[in-house]
Structure 1
Amino acid sequence: QAAYDGLREIGGTIVSITLVLVVVFIPISLTQGIIANVFRQFAVTIAIAVLFSLLVSFTVVPLLYSRFGKIDEFNRDGFIGRGIQAFENRIERIAKWFSSLLGWSLSHKQITMVVTLAALIGSVSLIAFGFIGSNFAPMGDQGQFVMKLELPRDVTIEQSNQITYQAENILRSSPLVETVFTTIGAEENGQPQARLADLRVKMIPHNQRNISTSDFSREAKLFLQQHIPGAQIWVATTDLMGNIDEAPIQYYITGHHIDSVRTAANLLLHSIKFVKGIVDPKLSAEESSPEISIIPDREKMAALGIPFEMLGMGLGNAFSGNNDAKFRQNEYEYDINTRLDNFDRRSTADVENLTFISTSGEAVKLKQFARIEESNAPGILERRNRSACITLNCQVGGRPIGDIGQDVSQIINSLDLPENITIIPGGELEMQDESFGTMGIALIISILLVYLIMVLLYNNYVYPFVVLISIPLAIIGALLALALTMDTLNLFTLLGLLALIGLVAKNAIILVDFTNQSKEKGMELKAALIEATRQRFRPILMTTAATVIGMLPIALATGAGAEWKNGLAWVMIGGLISSMFLTLIVVPVVYYVMDKMLEKVGLGKKKVIEIKE
């Protein structure tokens, strides 16, 4: 009978809490893009697990309690009995203290609300004053990074191999390095380059070293720069998905003309070098490549009998070669590439003396109908939305990406750039803006869904706001926890804030439901609120403590990739603790104020409509 009566008393509360937890995670499961790829399975799993817990709480738990539940009188004179009694007395004293504090707060409602609002503003100001940074995701220590070597443009593949082999031996000599995978002739914009090399370094497991991947990679870079002169060295780390993140910060400089774009890109490059946290800024078209330009004279070509198609085909065969011929051996076939020997294409004079056969059968040299000039041209031509483009790539170190992006944005706004020049953030800055926008929309939708659920359950449009007031109370502790742990606002901490909506609303629902039941029994409002705080203090404390204890191992984890989950756990711990204490005081005060306002406008009493047959 006790199990049945208990279920009837709090059954509605359990349903309310469950529905709130479920609707909080629905928006995440319906999103698209990066958020969906990372968190959809997490959201669906939580929602299904919570629904099954509702089924268990209505069936299995009452059944087990009805069979095994009993009241045992413990020996108060024993050691364990005295400990239990002391704990019970302490809980009861704390509950009475909260009840007394609530009584004072109900008599000083303005002071209570002002202090709460000041605490909320103070916690949000931690972001404005730089105590809490922002980035797309924490820099997880996966024990892998890439060392990129760039040699002078005139080196051969053999020289690149020799220099890269020296760098590889230096890295392998470290006891912290497990393997090094080297690529000679790494790709640049889809084309292999003899002067480029990638060294993919895998370090020993996280628990066997006392240095992070980022710190070791910076030390290795400085060491290689000292022992391999003439080589430019960059370090790229792994991102959230395990891919190599060559440039966490990118900016696309676009415009109508490549010259003005190059000028703006160089101006931005020199301006951001002094921004704290920017490492190795580099333009995608930083260097020009020497080339030979051939400017044909069409009138002379027509007079000499050289078709334009012949010019293109002849230059292609001379320098790129012709592979129409094949060599077959058994079942294998090989291309035969025919072109000029290296000796005949080393200088401008060799190009000028290239011979063509005219339509009349005469030998004509290239310099007879074309002008040959040596010039420098961009190593790469980029276009973005049909406009000339140059990309600024930067590594980061020591600061959150979001904070660096804010500083760079201020510099961009201060630059005197032509009107046709546009600078667009890319890389993780772009992903951060996208993910923060998606999480913000999911947060708003979750709050609206929680409100609608409360309206249906309470049959009232005002009382649900009392439940929602617990959300900003949780933000106070969540932001304070981020500041104390020196963590950032990122994808995972925002997920923690989203999960807090359902978890902290639970405490307010428990108080509001108990208060409503007491009012229906005829208890005066103020007494009902104080009694709700005293009676529901224990379940609120128990559920909050259970969640906090469950999150502590995640918050204190130090293994590989633990940085991604630490922030989420600290946000939930800080939010739950602040919400638990503040909800017991602020929510009843807000309930009292709203109830009195409803009475003044004549909406506090339920209207009973009788239909006569």
Structure 2
Amino acid sequence: RLLRHEPNPGRFVRTVERLVGGLTRAYGRALRATLRVRWLIVLVGLAVAGASVLLFNGMKRELAPVEDRATVVAIFSAPDGASIDYSYRYAQEIERLALSIPEADRVFVVTGSPTVTQGIGFFRLIDWGERDRKVPQIIAELQPKLLGIPGVQAFAVAPASLGQSPRARPVNLVVLSSESYEDIQETLRPLMAELQDDARFQGVDTDLRLNKPELKLRIDRDRAADAGVAVDAIGRALETALGGRQVTRFKRDNEQYDVIVQFAASNRNTPQDISKIFVRGRGDTMMPLSALVRVDEGVSARELNHFGQRRAVTITANLAPGASLGEAVDVLEDLARKHLKPGYAIDYDGQTREFKQSSSTLLITFALALCFIYLVLAAQFESFVDPLIIMFTVPLSMTGALALLQWTGGTLNVYSQIGLITLVGLITKHGILIVEFANQLRDQGQAVLPATIEAARLRLRPILMTTGAMVLGAVPLALATGAGAESRVQIGMVIVGGMTFGTLLTLFVLPTVYTLLTRPRHLLPDHAATSHTGAVAQPGSARMPHTPGAT
């Protein structure tokens, strides 16, 4: 019923038909005019295609856009050696700051995770429709307040868009070397200083910290032997008094309890408390441990990490508002070349590693998509030239997609890359319609120029219908709001800009390229009799210059 021909269409249908008919006639006249200056149109097409390269190189790059998930994560760390009470005191201050945000709904702060000196907080915001500010704006307000807290290093981040750990920071540079950790720290000192002075980085930190308080107990073995105290007895005494030792269990009311012997917390806080520990010597004499050992205070590394079986130091940082991960990676690589000595190497971890991998595979994926489409078209048209003519529309659409993406503040990320690859298949459909129909008209004996004009004019309506359907279908993505809208907008902008701009240029550039590159066709048997007399005359063909090689 929907596809049934209506002999008496309504006013709306007649109006649309008149508009489309007028547009088709105007397009035919414009195409005839452009085909008189074909090389100028080719130059315009090449210039637009070259602009896509400039836009691609000038785009900001990142793994994924920061999404508004109505959650802010605050990560803080206290000085090495701080107690859990110290960390908890500052965690309460961070909690008060979070509750002062008007958009805050619930706040949950954990102290001592994953270590005593570290913690994490989750700030849940009210619904998207009930607030005017987005997560990045709230973080921009909260970050200076967190940096102003003395005693801890705290910063706020948005949860990663692709499901990484909430502790994951966007910038992760791994420095590899075989030198000692002390030498690595000295080598990285000027690099860290420049990163901290760079406004594009926030909260620059490293996992190499050679400042953790440490006590070294040196046993006087001669004195211990004279006193009849074994070395292992000294070790057990220290373990029991400071770390605790389970000595037995007992049951009460069907419940089993462990009995742990340990000094009270107030008696094991300072190095001087070691003098309160006694060990049993010869003749059951109780001797103070301070008479048998010497306590030396010093510092050591909090942790010593390896990456790829080499000593490794990881430098992490957050990105300032407006900075992209691609810019950060370029800065890191420049600083590495400037400061790292021979024998050092760099690698990436976390989001930075995923970004590098996705960036390196984009060109390969794009090239494979073009190659696959070319092979399919070559098999369909039984020609190696026609697919090249059709695929000339791809860089035209890329210019429109990248231009709109950059104008709206978008970036090159996994979502916009998906949109670009999808655009390759969508835009080539226009070329298929024009080239296929032009080939059919030429097989019937028409010359190249009249056949090209007629094919483009007759295929205008399905081309506009395809473009309209795709653009209107992508508009909701481009104008999306709410949860995850930042990612959907990227895909929508690419499709809207690429299809709109690419279609406009395809209607003029592709027919021009077709008339210049197409090869002679074999006439169908029914029209072979006319091949010796030339092409069949078409309206307007007498005014068009004849293309060499046309049948």
Query: TM-score if structure 2 supplies the norm length?
Result: 0.85
Aligned partner of 2:8 in structure 1 is: 72
Distance of 2:197 and 2:121 partners within structure 1: 29
Match of 1:165 among 85, 92, 109: 92
Distance of 2:6 and 2:383 partners within structure 1: 39
Match of 2:65 among 105, 115, 138: 138
Report matched runs for 1:173-192 at 5 Å: 173-187=100-114, 191=115
Report matched runs for 1:33-72 at 5 Å: 65=3, 68-72=4-8
1:429 positional shift: 1.9
Q: Deviations over 1:451-496 (max 9, x none)?
A: 2221222222332222222222211111111121121111100000
Moved more, 132-141 or 347-356: 347-356
Q: Deviations over 1:151-202 (max 9, x none)?
A: 4556544454444334423432443111111212221xxx3x1x43322101
1:239 aligns with 2:168: no
1:366 positional shift: 5.2
Match of 1:535 among 458, 471, 474: 458
Q: Deviations over 1:70-103 (max 9, x none)?
A: 333556xxxx577446513431233213421442
Q: Deviations over 1:226-255 (max 9, x none)?
A: 5x5434321121111355254111111222
Distance of 1:541 and 1:98 partners within structure 2: 16
The answer (yes or no) to whether the contact 1:249–1:395 under 8 Å persists in 2 is yes
Q: Cα gap change, 1:359/1:434 in structure 2, threshold over 3 Å: closer, same or farther? A: farther
Q: Deviations over 1:316-367 (max 9, x none)?
A: 2232111242232334323222123446544445436754456997766656
Moved more, 87-96 or 132-141: 87-96
Report matched runs for 1:88-127 at 5 Å: 88-105=20-37, 108-109=38-39, 111-127=40-56
Q: Cα gap change, 1:72/1:254 in structure 2, threshold over 3 Å: closer, same or farther? A: same
Aligned partner of 1:52 in structure 2 is: none
1:289 positional shift: 1.3
The answer (yes or no) to whether the contact 1:98–1:533 under 8 Å persists in 2 is no
| Letter matched to residue 184 of structure 1 | T
1:351 aligns with 2:278: no
Secondary structure of the residue that 1:380 maps to in structure 2?
Answer: coil
1:578 positional shift: 2.2
Distance of 2:514 and 2:91 partners within structure 1: 71
1:387 aligns with 2:323: no
Match of 1:440 among 363, 378, 398: 363
Distance of 1:141 and 1:101 partners within structure 2: 50
Aligned partner of 1:198 in structure 2 is: 120
Match of 1:426 among 332, 335, 349: 349
The answer (yes or no) to whether the contact 2:67–2:486 under 8 Å persists in 1 is yes
Q: Cα gap change, 1:258/1:199 in structure 2, threshold over 3 Å: closer, same or farther? A: same
Distance of 1:426 and 1:251 partners within structure 2: 7
The answer (yes or no) to whether the contact 2:201–2:319 under 8 Å persists in 1 is yes
Distance of 1:444 and 1:588 partners within structure 2: 25
Distance of 1:550 and 1:339 partners within structure 2: 70
| Runs of 5+ consecutive residues of structure 2 not aligned to the other structure | 526-551
| Letter matched to residue 565 of structure 1 | R
1:268 aligns with 2:191: yes
The answer (yes or no) to whether the contact 2:70–2:124 under 8 Å persists in 1 is yes
Q: Cα gap change, 1:359/1:73 in structure 2, threshold over 3 Å: closer, same or farther? A: same
1:301 positional shift: 6.7
Report matched runs for 1:198-597 at 5 Å: 198-223=120-145, 228-242=149-163, 243-256=165-178, 257-286=180-209, 288-296=211-219, 309-342=232-265, 345-351=268-274, 354-357=277-280, 371-397=294-320, 398-415=322-339, 417-596=340-519
Distance of 2:123 and 2:418 partners within structure 1: 32
Moved more, 378-387 or 505-514: 378-387
Q: Cα gap change, 1:71/1:275 in structure 2, threshold over 3 Å: closer, same or farther? A: farther
| Letter matched to residue 326 of structure 2 | G
Q: Deviations over 1:282-313 (max 9, x none)?
A: 12234611110134567777787666554544
Distance of 1:479 and 1:160 partners within structure 2: 47
| Letter matched to residue 196 of structure 1 | Q
The answer (yes or no) to whether the contact 1:237–1:245 under 8 Å persists in 2 is no
Aligned partner of 2:548 in structure 1 is: none
Distance of 1:168 and 1:324 partners within structure 2: 40
Root mean square deviation, CA, Å: 3.0
Moved more, 444-453 or 290-299: 290-299
Q: Cα gap change, 1:528/1:299 in structure 2, threshold over 3 Å: closer, same or farther? A: farther
Distance of 2:51 and 2:147 partners within structure 1: 46
Distance of 1:383 and 1:295 partners within structure 2: 29
| Letter matched to residue 99 of structure 1 | L
1:519 positional shift: 1.6
Aligned partner of 2:530 in structure 1 is: none
The answer (yes or no) to whether the contact 1:275–1:407 under 8 Å persists in 2 is no
| Runs of 5+ consecutive residues of structure 1 not aligned to the other structure | 1-62, 609-613
Distance of 2:439 and 2:422 partners within structure 1: 26
| Letter matched to residue 328 of structure 2 | I
Aligned partner of 2:535 in structure 1 is: none
Distance of 2:193 and 2:278 partners within structure 1: 47
The answer (yes or no) to whether the contact 2:52–2:396 under 8 Å persists in 1 is no
| Letter matched to residue 290 of structure 1 | P
| Letter matched to residue 389 of structure 1 | A
| Letter matched to residue 495 of structure 1 | I
Q: Cα gap change, 1:387/1:331 in structure 2, threshold over 3 Å: closer, same or farther? A: farther
The answer (yes or no) to whether the contact 1:254–1:388 under 8 Å persists in 2 is yes
Distance of 1:476 and 1:147 partners within structure 2: 40
Secondary structure of the residue that 1:293 maps to in structure 2?
Answer: strand
The answer (yes or no) to whether the contact 1:451–1:464 under 8 Å persists in 2 is yes
Distance of 1:134 and 1:550 partners within structure 2: 26
Q: Cα gap change, 1:94/1:278 in structure 2, threshold over 3 Å: closer, same or farther? A: farther
| Letter matched to residue 332 of structure 2 | V
Distance of 1:404 and 1:563 partners within structure 2: 21
Query: TM-score if structure 1 supplies the norm length?
Result: 0.77
